[in-house]
Amino acid sequence: MDNTFGTIFRITSFGESHGEIVGIILDGVPAGLNFDLDFIQNELNRRKPGQSFVTTNRLEQDRVRVLSGIFNNKTTGAPICLLIENKDIDSSIYTKYKNYLRPSHVDYTALTKYGGFSDFRGSGRFSGRITAGFVMAGAVAKQILEKYDIFIFAYTKSIGNIRDEENYLLGEIKNLHEIREKSLVRSINPEKAKLMEELIEKVKNQKDSMGGTIKCIVFNFPKGKGGPIFNSLESRISKAIFAIPAIKGIEFGAGFKASTMKGSEHNDPWILKDGRIQTSKNDAGGIIGGISTGMPIEFTVAVKPTASIGIPQKTVNIEKMENVEVEFSGRHDPCIVPRIVSVIEAMTANVLLDCLLIEGYIPRIIDF
């Protein structure tokens, strides 16, 4: 189990869903940052459970606690330990089903890897709750990136087949934060949001679940960062994004659609605008040859439908070693897409801050 991510800005995740706490240790944070705890709490609130009928009804306050690394309200360069407590724990359901492999969940792979010793309560280390730590780290990374005018914005692009196909002007999308936060599904298209909510309610009433896609855009990321071959910008971002449970795909710019386009349609024309070399569209998603072009970095991720559903499913009872059909009950998100939006932003911030520290674009000491 590899719990540390990053080269200079290193984050180490710890905790389990039904243990005492979930948290993150941040190493390599530049010294001198004004530490904004309210911002971290707000970011956590966007991810926390029990927000509405589209999320699980596990009720957690997710109050962030800072254990180290801050002095006179500034980062010191020492490791920062951030954590939240697990309060609303009900492990009875997991004990009841412990001999049944939940389809498309981790029970079988965890068993093969850890020989039955892993904490199965609330899916333990595999739980989506672990991503609260990613969000706390991301909130610190975002604060630093924003000092360099780099902004990250993600939103729900689709739930099931309800898709927001709108091509937003890059300038206006940045200002849609409030609209997105008012939307239960974290959409920026109020019409589509209503349809998405209705779809989630429908599958929830059927004791089923639904997946979707999230688009993420990074504004003002400097050109010439990243590199070809093994540590390309796409591969670094992908590695960060695939640390999030339930992510099944990622595409940059036009992505898979590029395979159906002609070169003449896909190529992004270079133009000279305001004295800067830019492209007139961005099907490359802001990255060519693993290196940033200076255009916004744009990617879309696929989130699978929540594996835990209440309708009968075929599986295996590993105690009796027999095929069975089981209805799994419990507290689960009928759709985890809305809660993952903030996690996508956070992991993007974590990996891009690390990249800019490696490149020397952001120094080890800042003072804002």
Site of interaction with ligand FMN (CB under 6 A): 56, 105-106, 123, 126-128, 131, 244-246, 304, 306-308, 332-333, 336, 339-340, 343
Paired tokens of 61: 């306050």
Of the pair 8, 199, the CB lying nearest ligand FMN is at 199
For the chain, report the end-to-end CA distance as a whole number of angstroms: 36
Of the pair 25, 106, the CB lying nearest ligand FMN is at 106
Q: Could you give phi then psi for residue 288, rounded to 5 degrees? A: -135, 130
Of the pair 110, 358, the CB lying nearest ligand FMN is at 110
Paired tokens of 5: 């991510």
**Beta-bridge partners for 21:** 85
Q: How far is the CB of 189 from ligand FMN (least distance, A)?
A: 22
Q: How far is the CB of 244 from ligand FMN (least distance, A)?
A: 5
Q: Is residue 86 within 8 Å of residue 22, measured between CB atoms?
A: yes
Q: How far is the CB of 142 from ligand FMN (least distance, A)?
A: 18
Q: How far is the CB of 240 from ligand FMN (least distance, A)?
A: 13
Of the pair 47, 225, the CB lying nearest ligand FMN is at 47
Q: How far is the CB of 208 from ligand FMN (least distance, A)?
A: 12
Q: How far is the CB of 153 from ligand FMN (least distance, A)?
A: 19
Q: How far is the CB of 109 from ligand FMN (least distance, A)?
A: 8
Q: Distance of CA 257 to CAs 69, 251, 261, 263, 348, Å?
A: 45, 9, 7, 12, 23
Q: How far is the CB of 145 from ligand FMN (least distance, A)?
A: 22
Of the pair 94, 151, the CB lying nearest ligand FMN is at 94
Query: CA-CA distance, 178 to 345, in Å (whole number)?
Result: 16
Residue with nearest beta carbon to ligand FMN: 128
Q: How far is the CB of 106 from ligand FMN (least distance, A)?
A: 5
Of the pair 281, 304, the CB lying nearest ligand FMN is at 304
Of the pair 6, 122, the CB lying nearest ligand FMN is at 122
Of the pair 81, 307, the CB lying nearest ligand FMN is at 307
Of the pair 43, 268, the CB lying nearest ligand FMN is at 43
